[in-house]
Structure 1
Amino acid sequence: MFRGFELSVKEDFLSVYKSIGASQHEYNKRRVDECLNRFRDGSGDLLAAKMTAEWFPEIDAQVFISHAHKDSALALGLAGHLHKGFGLKSFVDSAVWGYSDDLLRILDDAFCYNETSGTYSYAKRNRSTSHVHMMLSVALSRMIDRCECIIFINTPQSITSRDYIKGDKTDSPWIYSEIAMTRLIKKRSREDHRGTESLLATESLGTDTRLRVRYDVDLDHLSKLDGATYGMWTIRSHGRAGATALDTLYDLVPPSPIE
């Protein structure tokens, strides 16, 4: 990761590019699915070892897009425009977290289900859930580390409405985890990123209404990016693509004082 941005825009922002973003997102999801297929059989130990060693080895992206589940259209529109306007590849975080329930079901059916009683073991389910969330969290951290640019879409869907102005609370554990990682992961130069193939982004799962947990989120280390500034980036990047387009964004938006 080189730079991180907090994007605040309206719901219809870049909506005309949604179909382009959706095609990119579906491609990434297929790559993740192909990767998961290699881990569906065998013991739980082998599953974890292989996943942590080989997770998403072939997905390449320069921009990681973090967003709330209800902001999927926004994320796809952004990904579509980044590709169409700047020639940039994005990874939307839902390509990772979207498989959380599927992966849990595979493990639970294999290791937690009691055929005699027709029920699942509560203790084993707790253990399988902790393993899956740990593995996916590690995978996302690696993807964030590999991406040069991180864009967090900040709307009332991701930051709770009454705290939206201050931007200090979220109901999503996935958003909390991703934002925390952008602060903790060591920053690398843009030259370092461009010397190798890069990657990633994710959608957050909906919050369980039976359990509401609010996480403190610190966004001070992310540079502020609004729709007007994004439009200026598009204008100033005319004729530029890929890394040079990102350089224009970095020059246009000064780093956060603590970035």
Structure 2
Amino acid sequence: MYRGFNLNVENEFDIHKYHEIGIEIFNILKNSVRPRLKEYILPKGTIDGDKIMADWFPEVKSHLFLSHSHNDLKNAVYIAGALYTEFKILTFIDSTVWGYSNDLLKIIDDEYCKSESGETYDYQSRNYSTSHVHLMLTSALSKMIDNCEVIFFLNSPNSVSTKSITERTNSPWIFSEISTTKIIRKITPNRLKELTKMFSDTVMLNESQRSQLRIEYNLELSHFTDLNLIQFNRWLNSYCSSPDNALDELYRQHPIDSKFLIK
């Protein structure tokens, strides 16, 4: 990862040609997983976690990682379509990965976590399976963030629950992804000469969607560059000859704050 941008979006984008291309990209990523649990069973009856991560949460070659709320999927798809149409930038939409975690967990739980009656799940077994699936997911997302040159956080009323002096989120997936950007290795592309400060440390957690339990986390975005819709569209309308050229133009329009430069 090289740079992070905090893209502020208050409403949904107007749906047009970009959305269709975005849906194609989303479906390609979504269809890359393999939902057959029996293929992951090792000879002694244990599950091959490495194979599950490789098949269910594949590392896809992308330029940009897009972190967003599941309620902002339409906007995420639009952005992916727009960036590919205009710049041939490949966007990794994070929900194509975490959207499958519950499916995988259901398969494992139905096979291994049922109580003796078969009508309910065993609490301890469910805790064990959930921790493993969430660990696989967190690992996969961290690798994707590490491999992408830039990350966009889709900042909206759906992803940020509180906006005051500090922004807060009740999505542990978003908290985990943004936290990862602060501790992950900082890689300056060979074509660029600027050296920037390594992001500071923080903690990684996983998301729960229980409606009666609301937990919030401080969302530390100080290492991200703010980007509003006018600025995003100005960049989108720039003439660029390649994905690298387009990203360089984004960096030119929004230089790194001096506080992140190595002294």
Question: Where on the TM-score scale, by shorter chain, does this alignment land: which range?
Answer: 0.7 to 0.9
Question: What code does the residue aligned with 1:91 have?
Answer: F
Question: What code does the residue aligned with 2:245 have?
Answer: T
Instruction: Tell me the distance in 1 between the aligned counterparts of 2:105 and 2:118.
Output: 20
Contact 2:65 2:93 in 1 (8 A): yes
Partner in structure 2 of residue 220 of structure 1: 222
Give the deviation of 1:128 after TM superposition. 0.6
Contact 1:2 1:188 in 2 (8 A): yes
Contact 2:65 2:150 in 1 (8 A): yes
What TM-score does the superposition give when structure 1 sets the normalisation length?
A: 0.86
Partner in structure 2 of residue 49 of structure 1: 50
Partner in structure 2 of residue 5 of structure 1: 5
SS at match of 1:116: coil
User: Which structure exhibits the higher relative contact order, with contacts defined as CA atoms closer than 8 Å and separated by 6 or more residues?
Assistant: 1
Contact 2:59 2:143 in 1 (8 A): no
Instruction: Tell me the distance in 2 between the aligned counterparts of 1:192 and 1:129.
Output: 42
Contact 2:12 2:75 in 1 (8 A): yes
Contact 1:66 1:178 in 2 (8 A): yes
Contact 2:76 2:93 in 1 (8 A): yes
What does the per-residue CA deviation read over 1:69-106, in whole Å, with 9 as the maximum and x for residues that have no partner? 11111111100100001111111001110011101111
Contact 2:58 2:140 in 1 (8 A): no
Give the deviation of 1:14 after TM superposition. 5.6
Instruction: Tell me the distance in 2 between the aligned counterparts of 1:231 and 1:190.
Output: 24
Instruction: Tell me the distance in 1 between the aligned counterparts of 2:191 and 2:125.
Output: 43
Q: Report matched runs for 1:129-148 at 5 Å.
A: 129-148=130-149
Give the deviation of 1:253 after TM superposition. 0.7
More helix by share: 1
Partner in structure 2 of residue 200 of structure 1: none
Instruction: Tell me the distance in 2 between the aligned counterparts of 1:96 and 1:174.
Output: 11
Structure 1: 4+ residue segments shifted above 6 A: none
Instruction: Tell me the distance in 2 between the aligned counterparts of 1:109 and 1:192.
Output: 50
Aligned length: 244
| Residue 170 (structure 1) aligned with residue 188 (structure 2) | no
Instruction: Tell me the distance in 1 between the aligned counterparts of 2:187 and 2:38.
Output: 32
Q: Report matched runs for 1:223-234 at 5 Å.
A: 223-234=225-236
Question: Structure 1 residues 45, 149: CA separation in 2 closer, same or farther (over 3 Å shift)?
Answer: farther
Q: Report matched runs for 1:1-259 at 5 Å.
A: 1-13=1-13, 15-16=15-16, 17-31=18-32, 33-34=33-34, 36-37=35-36, 40-42=39-41, 45-52=46-53, 56-57=57-58, 59-160=60-161, 163-191=162-190, 207-235=209-237, 237-256=238-257, 257-258=259-260
Percent identity, please.
Answer: 39
Question: Structure 1 residues 179, 109: CA separation in 2 closer, same or farther (over 3 Å shift)?
Answer: same
Give the deviation of 1:140 after TM superposition. 0.2
Q: Mark the runs of 5 or more structure 1 residues left unpaired by the alignment.
A: 194-203
Alpha carbon RMSD of aligned pairs, Å?
Answer: 2.4
Instruction: Tell me the distance in 2 between the aligned counterparts of 1:206 and 1:80.
Output: 29
Contact 2:59 2:144 in 1 (8 A): no
Question: What code does the residue aligned with 1:243 have?
Answer: D
